[in-house]
Amino acid sequence: MGTPRSQWKKAVLTVVALVALGGLVLGATWLYASQQVPPQPLEFNHQVHVQQLGLSCLFCHSNAARGKSAGLPTTNRCMGCHVQLEPKTEAEKILREYFEKEEPIPWVPVAIQPDFVYFSHQPHVSKGIACETCHGEVGQYTIAPDLSKKQNMGWCLSCHKNLAPEHFTRLSSCETCHK
Amino acid sequence: MAGGNGHEHTKWVMVIDLDKCNGCNACVTACAMENNVAFTGEEENAYGRGMHWLRVIRYWEGEWPNVRVRYMPMMCQQCSNAPCEPVCPVFATLHSEAEELNIQVYNRCIGTRYCANNCPYIARTFNWFDYEWPEPLNFHLNPDVTVRRRGIMEKCTFCIQRINQGEEQAAAEGREVRDGEIQPACAQACPTEAIVFGNWQDPNSKVRQLAQSQRGFKYLHELGTEPKVIYLASEKHDF
């Protein structure tokens, strides 16, 4: 039992605590959802292809050596090997479905740069920079992680400032990476 | 970059022969398509909010019926001593040492519009609103150029995306950029080849030879802006 005043105080405190708790739960849910990798049409496993089978990155992402975008493999590229394999897992069955429908797999890219950034794979690959330098140890992942928050401008400049001091003017100039 | 092929010293220059320009506005259209320049519409244009990176100025001469018109394509002159640069409080417009161009960094711009007010060529345009490209117009958007948002200043870049790609292509093939290989959209679209683009540092380039003409002049050069667009004066003005 308390005075009416202390009861009033208690009620206000409870409401404040409930609102704070609700906000916290909402915030945590949002944070969790924003950190989730986007759902892919099929669960491609990099670990099996890179670590166990020893495929090179460029075998599937072959455009990285030639152009701006590394590109995603066509269904035909996948089926080059998978045509000889009996589909066992769910992913393999989905792959075969796309192949038989003659449709491309609608992959969701996870390493996307903002609209105002110009990036081309070709100069980086031709200078011998390993894919893992920017993309992490993809060969160890079962699901490709979302890199868009890690790949910011300071992170790009950490190499651009140090790797080739003789080309510093060019490598640190705005128009090299902003379009 | 490109393994010492010397293109850290390129100096891009444009030569516009006013004798050849017939005012067809193909350059204006090509520029708008290449660089995702927004269409503002008639009403906005009347308010002075039209957006053009490149416009064709008309000069009327004589009395009817002996009227003659002269045309002069006008865009950012990529001044070596640019009046827009020192007034930007956030260094969104600045001089690229690598390309010797006046560049605009859209994601840094906060829209003070000091640069446009200080530009003697009136070459800069401002996004007063978020302009839309309703379907199917959005399919023409060039993925190599940022789509600018409201509150951002923009101007001719000499098609920096084409310069970068041309240089990258040359570097990948281990050679220097050939003369005429890199063309901005306006030069490519010009039916009379009045607009020529090239590297000033290459003594054999077409721009270097054209610029030696006695007709050559730089617009408002008395301001000391040192423009990189050289006009060749029209010889037909006495009629």
ipTM value for the complex? 0.78
Number of compact structural domains in chain A? 1
Query: Do B146 and A116 lie within an 8 Å CB cutoff?
Result: yes
Decide if A150 is inside a domain.
yes
| A173 chain-B contacts, CB cut-off 8 A | 96-99
Buried/exposed code over B180-205 (b: 16+ C-beta within 10 A; e: otherwise) = eebbbbbbbbbeeebbbbbbbebeeb
Decide if A8 is inside a domain.
no
Three-state secondary-structure class, residue B58: strand
Mean pLDDT of B104-130: 94
Q: Is the pLDDT of residue B152 over 60?
A: yes
Please tell me which of the candidates B1, B145, B172 has its beta carbon nearest to residue A179: B145
Helices A90-101 and A75-82 pack at an angle, to 10 degrees, of: 120
Decide if A103 is inside a domain.
no
- pLDDT interval class at B236 (50, 70, 90): low
Does B213 contact chain A (CB < 8 Å)?
A: no
Query: Do A118 and B164 lie within an 8 Å CB cutoff?
Result: yes
Does B133 contact chain A (CB < 8 Å)?
A: no
Six-digit token string for A164: 């080739």
The model's pTM is 0.82
- pLDDT interval class at B198 (50, 70, 90): very high
- pLDDT interval class at B185 (50, 70, 90): very high
| B164 chain-A contacts, CB cut-off 8 A | 118, 175-176, 179
- Please state which of the four CATH numbers 3.30.200.20, 3.30.70.2190, 2.40.50.320, 3.30.70.20 is assigned to the domain occupying B7-232: 3.30.70.20
Please tell me which of the candidates A115, A122, A170 has its beta carbon nearest to residue B1: A170
Q: Is the pLDDT of residue A132 over 50?
A: yes
Top mean pLDDT of A128-132, A149-153, B183-187 is at B183-187
Q: What is the pLDDT of residue B1?
A: 39
Three-state secondary-structure class, residue B232: strand
Dihedral angle over CA of B221, B223, B224, B229, nearest 10: -40
| B8 chain-A contacts, CB cut-off 8 A | 167, 169-170
**How far is residue B39 from each of residues B42, B53, B63, B133, measured CA to CA in Å?**
9, 12, 35, 8
Which residue in A has a C-alpha nearest to residue B6's C-alpha?
A167
Q: What is the pLDDT of residue A112?
A: 80
Measure B215 CA to nearest chain A CA, in Å. 33
Domain that holds residue A173: 61-71+109-177
Q: What is the pLDDT of residue A20?
A: 94
> In chain B, what are the domain boundaries?
7-232
